[in-house]
Amino acid sequence: MQLPQIQSPMLRLVGQRLLKAIPLILAIVICNFVLLKLAPGDAAEVLAGEAAAGTAEYLAELRARFGLDQPVHMQLWHYIVKLATLDLGFSFRHNQTVLSLILDRLPATLLLMFSGMGLAVVVGAALGILASQRVNQLRDNIISVFAILSFSVPVFWLGLMLIVVFSVNLGWFPAGGMETMASGKRGVVRMLDILQHMVMPVTTLGLFYVALYTRVMRASMLEVFNQDFVTTARAKGLSESRITLRHVFRNALLPMVTLIGVQFGTLLGGSVLVETVFSWPGLGRLAFEAVFQRDINLLLGILLMCSVLVVLSNILVDVMYSQLDPRIRIR
Amino acid sequence: MATSNTNVFKRVILSVATLVITTFGFPAAAQSAADIESGTLKFALSPEPPFLLTAINTTLQMGMVTSKVMEGLLYLDSDLKPQPLLAEKWDISADGLTYTFKLRPNVKWHDGQPFTSADVSYTILEVLKKVHPRGRTALAKITTVETPDPLTAIIKLSKPAPPMLTALASSYESPMMPKHLFAGSDPASNPYISKPVGTGPFVFKEWKKGDFILLEKNPNYWQAGKPLLRRIVFRVINDASARAASFETGEVHIGGLSPVPLTDMPRIAKNPALSVETRGYAYMSPYMLMEVNLRKPPLNDVRVRRAIAHAIDRDRMTQVVWMGYGKPAVSPIPSQVTSFHSTDVAKYEYSVEKAKKLLDEAGLKPGANGMRFKMTHDLFPLGSDYQRTGEFIKQQLARVGIELELRSQDLPSYFRRIFTEYDFDSTSGYYGAFADPTQGVQRLFWSKAIQKGVVFTNATDYRSADMDRIIEAAQDENDFTKRKALYLDMQRLAMTDLPIIPLMETRFITLSSSKLKRHTISADGVIGGNFADAYFEK
């Protein structure tokens, strides 16, 4: 695909990738739609069932209102046509447009995801570097054991254990929610309140990735330490800390950046569990509930949003490569 | 980047530590004490309701919220006797065809408009009778609602309908709606179903979806000096273990419909800061039934069904699986429905011998592995308590030579399988019997309630001309004694034909802070009670 007007290679890369993303996302939408339609039961049955009552007329009315009385291929067609005008549809269950539902919940999830990822990157990189400096010595062993433990603990269990220890027994942190409700807190006080609520969910979400990045960072630091240019740098008389941070660390970052790009999507999956355990009012839980409520419009909207996020984060990673390592050229 | 690593990392660790320490300042216990001091009640809610109007969707969790905001004409006290709420007095004509309600004067909607008989007429005729999931049947005989003056509403019926008063006597089941905000609109898409306006002691303030719903004290409530609480915050907490933790930390003060897993109850019940209440569910009268698919041989043989009933030790099930929070059921009308419940029915006491004998008679001999036949059992997908019930039944039936294969699925798949495809052998379902048998019981035994695709109706394919005759006669029998006699016959026949094996009357738990008083005063408890009288003991 040629876009001759655009001169900057980076903009061209971004443009091309965005164009290629359109058919990809359309395919994702169709796959999701078909998969969701294969699940038995529909939103009308669930609503009527929860109401513990219902008549045939009540169900028929609900189905007609939800558009479920139409043939499946027409439902898909209507959905795609609307999507073309950037209309994500209406969630009949929540009596709200899908877009407004998603936008309401997105900030909470992004806060959780970015903090979790931030924690993982910073702590993971730091521990990886610390471990690589003293290979097979006490410090390295302690860090490695910690990493293996964190790597193998199930997210769900970890969350519950944190609640038991730090909320129920010690009373340090609230067991759930994003902030003290209807407390009238403003400004800095409110920020601190949110921060206090964030500690346990972010730890739960981030710990697995901390462990992963520690392992990756350690391995890749060790690899770079053995390369010739490090020997050259040492011969030049540079201090060990300068070599570690400026020469080795920067080169060792690439594998971790790759992982971040790939894992951004998985992180959203992890946030489903974390949001459920900590009653965090985010998108993951909304999606999880939508599955059991067969709220297809909402679920399609959230999945679409996720695929867009993953595509965008992958483009971002590609751009970051070239910034971190000038040898990688954008063509 | 000339600083050494150690310094950088020291700084990082130090700032993280500072961050953690600064956030330590507000332990949960202090927050809870502040809530109690300020009269803020935190109510655990799960699942979050889709909107807030029980007149068009009778989800119980929705009622927990709306009943504090919107009120009904009457309420049922804990003996299921009607008491005045928005109607001060009511009178039923001797022929049972005219109900006259005298409304309470000087009642205002939260937006300042007066509450009048026009609202009653609109709510009953345009909403409850037309779109309420149960109201279509319960209020079917209503022909008109006359409004001679703003404080009088006269309901006219085509035939006597004794269950009607029960249906109207709950803020959960039949909340009055403001005509000026709903008239001329489709209630299901009216914006006020997400920001309800009522006459109740609490005013709707804010709903942050997925997080909380906030109600505040109504300063102009018709009952002077009430409510005693200042605010109610409903917190959405979907994970059962997290809910239990929130009760233990004092972050929530009350929750209904057994908010914590029963396996946690022995620990929770010992906590002096929490108190356990099992009253307040008589209106719903929840119970567990084993539905057996009569389309599937050998289950169409009544001897096989009786054998199954003899094989399940319902006392032990109540104690072991349900931790004693239940009562073994003997008939399809639960004992909480005191006016109609009967024990004068065929009883199926626990007896492995009798069960085996019945199966032998039915020609089902044990095979090489000791098993006579194999059937499936679909678990009711509502958590671990129902899972354990299924496992218990499986063990019990294995002793008499019936091999039970347990099947799990999510709720929509369960509904589709049981009520549309009828592709099941047996299931242990959870039902509400409700205060009048027409509301919750008749749908299970009436052949006209075999409606493909409609959930919680007759899925067993039980058809009996005798049963239909009794059920239909009881619907419009105005004489209480005759009506009661019909329901006694109905229970006797149900327990003889046994299309459904009653297992246990569920005793739901309302768990609350022991400081919270008078939260359960009506038959619909925290689901339909308006909390005007609830308060924290200081």
Q: Which chain A residues touch B187 with a CB distance below 8 Å? A: none
pTM (2 decimals)? 0.86
Q: Which of B28, B48, B235 sits opposite A171 (nearest CB)?
A: B28
* Lowest-confidence segment of B27-41, B203-217, B323-337, B411-425 by average pLDDT: B27-41
Dihedral-angle region of residue B325 (phi above 0 means left; psi in -120 to 50 means alpha; beta otherwise):
beta
- In sequence order, the β-bridge partners of residue B316 are none
| Per-residue model confidence (pLDDT) at position B3 | 41
Which pLDDT band, with edges at 50, 70 and 90, does A7 fall under?
low
- CA-nearest of B520, B519, B508, B509 to B41 is B519
Q: What is residue B25's three-state secondary structure?
A: helix
For residues B537 and B517, what is the distance between their CA atoms, to the nearest angstrom? Answer: 7
Q: Which of B23, B60, B455 sits opposite A196 (nearest CB)?
A: B23
For residues B275 and B512, what is the distance between their CA atoms, to the nearest angstrom? Answer: 5
Would you call B238 and A199 a contact, using CB atoms and an 8 Å cutoff? Answer: no
For residues B463 and B364, what is the distance between their CA atoms, to the nearest angstrom? Answer: 25
Q: Which positions 50-89 of A are in contact with B (Cβ < 8 Å)?
A: 50-59, 61, 65
Q: Which of A49, A177, A241 sits opposite B4 (nearest CB)?
A: A241
Q: Which chain B residues touch A292 with a CB distance below 8 Å? A: 410-412
Average pLDDT for B351-377: 95
Q: Which of B233, B248, B455 sits opposite A49 (nearest CB)?
A: B455
Q: Which of B60, B214, B246 sits opposite A182 (nearest CB)?
A: B214
In the numeric block, which tokens belong to residue B20?
């953690």
Q: Which chain B residues touch A65 with a CB distance below 8 Å? A: 188
What is the spatial order of strands in the sheet that B98-103 belongs to?
B87-92, B98-103, B152-157, B142-149
Kindly state whether A47 is in contact with chain B, defined as any CB-CB distance less than 8 angstroms: yes
Q: φ and ψ at A89, to 5 degrees?
A: 95, -170
Give the gap in angstroms from C-alpha A3 to the nearest C-alpha of chain B.
41
- CA-nearest of B535, B413, B531 to B69 is B531
pLDDT digits (tens, 9 = 90+) for B429-462: 889 999 899 988 999 999 998 988 888 889 999 9
| Per-residue model confidence (pLDDT) at position A74 | 87
| Per-residue model confidence (pLDDT) at position B290 | 96
Which pLDDT band, with edges at 50, 70 and 90, does A250 fall under?
confident
Kindly state whether A298 is in contact with chain B, defined as any CB-CB distance less than 8 angstroms: no
A287, closest residue in chain B (CA to CA): B210
Which pLDDT band, with edges at 50, 70 and 90, does A6 fall under?
low
Would you call A58 and B3 a contact, using CB atoms and an 8 Å cutoff? Answer: no
pLDDT digits (tens, 9 = 90+) for B137-187: 889 899 999 999 999 999 999 999 988 999 999 999 999 999 999 999 988
pLDDT digits (tens, 9 = 90+) for B301-332: 999 999 999 999 999 999 999 999 999 999 99
Give the gap in angstroms from C-alpha A93 to the nearest C-alpha of chain B.
5
Count of A–B CB contacts within 8 Å? 209
State the residue for tokens 């995801």.
A113
Q: Which positions 191-230 of A are in contact with B (Cβ < 8 Å)?
A: 192-193, 195-196, 199
Would you call A195 and B251 a contact, using CB atoms and an 8 Å cutoff? Answer: no
In the numeric block, which tokens belong to residue B215?
């109600």
pLDDT digits (tens, 9 = 90+) for B261-289: 888 899 899 999 999 999 999 999 999 99
pLDDT digits (tens, 9 = 90+) for B192-218: 999 999 999 999 999 988 889 999 999
Q: φ and ψ at A166, to 5 degrees?
A: -90, -20
- Residue B229: count of CB within 10 angstroms of its CB: 25
Average pLDDT for B66-85: 94
Chain A contact probe: residue of B129, B238, B431, B444 with most A CBs at under 10 A:
B238
pLDDT digits (tens, 9 = 90+) for A150-160: 888 888 889 98
* Lowest-confidence segment of B60-69, B260-269, B370-379, B481-490 by average pLDDT: B260-269
DSSP A116: H
Would you call A277 and B31 a contact, using CB atoms and an 8 Å cutoff? Answer: no
Which pLDDT band, with edges at 50, 70 and 90, does B135 fall under?
confident
- Counting beta carbons within 10 angstroms of the beta carbon of residue B7, is it exposed (0 to 12), middle (13 to 18) or buried (19 or more)? exposed
pLDDT digits (tens, 9 = 90+) for B216-241: 999 999 999 999 999 999 999 988 88
Q: Which chain A residues touch B190 with a CB distance below 8 Å? A: none
Would you call A51 and B237 a contact, using CB atoms and an 8 Å cutoff? Answer: no
For residues B324 and B367, what is the distance between their CA atoms, to the nearest angstrom? Answer: 36
B173, closest residue in chain A (CA to CA): A51
Q: For the residues of B60-82, what is the DSSP string, one character each? A: HHHHHHHTTTS--SEEEBTTS-E
Q: Which chain A residues touch B241 with a CB distance below 8 Å? A: 160, 163, 277
State the residue for tokens 């993280």.
B16
Give the gap in angstroms from C-alpha B444 to the nearest C-alpha of chain A.
12
- CA-nearest of A302, A119, A287, A283 to A198 is A119
Q: Which of A94, A176, A192 sits opposite B246 (nearest CB)?
A: A176
Contact B83, B77 (CB under 8 A): yes
Overall residue count recorded for chain A in this entry: 331
Question: B272-309 in b/e burial notation, b at 16+ Cβ within 10 A?
Answer: eebbebeebbbbbbbbbbbbbbbebebbebebbbbbbb
- What is the distance between the terminal CA atoms of chain B, rounded to a whole angstrom? 59
Dihedral-angle region of residue B45 (phi above 0 means left; psi in -120 to 50 means alpha; beta otherwise):
beta
Q: Which chain B residues touch A104 with a CB distance below 8 Å? A: 208-210
Q: Which chain B residues touch A48 with a CB distance below 8 Å? A: 133, 454-455
User: Is the ipTM, as predicted for this complex, more than 0.90?
Assistant: no
Give the gap in angstroms from C-alpha A293 to the nearest C-alpha of chain B.
7
In the numeric block, which tokens belong to residue B283?
């209106």
The strand pair at B74-76 and B87-92 is best described as: unpaired
Q: Which chain B residues touch A171 with a CB distance below 8 Å? A: 27-29, 249
Would you call B454 and A48 a contact, using CB atoms and an 8 Å cutoff? Answer: yes
Give the gap in angstroms from C-alpha B282 to the nearest C-alpha of chain A.
16
Q: Which of B22, B25, B136 sits opposite A55 (nearest CB)?
A: B136
| Per-residue model confidence (pLDDT) at position B14 | 53
A279, closest residue in chain B (CA to CA): B237
Q: Which chain A residues touch B432 with a CB distance below 8 Å? A: 52
- In sequence order, the β-bridge partners of residue B100 are B91, B154
| Per-residue model confidence (pLDDT) at position B332 | 96
Give the gap in angstroms from C-alpha B372 to the nearest C-alpha of chain A.
32
| Per-residue model confidence (pLDDT) at position B468 | 96
Would you call B133 and A129 a contact, using CB atoms and an 8 Å cutoff? Answer: no
Q: Which of B31, B411, B455 sits opposite A180 (nearest CB)?
A: B31
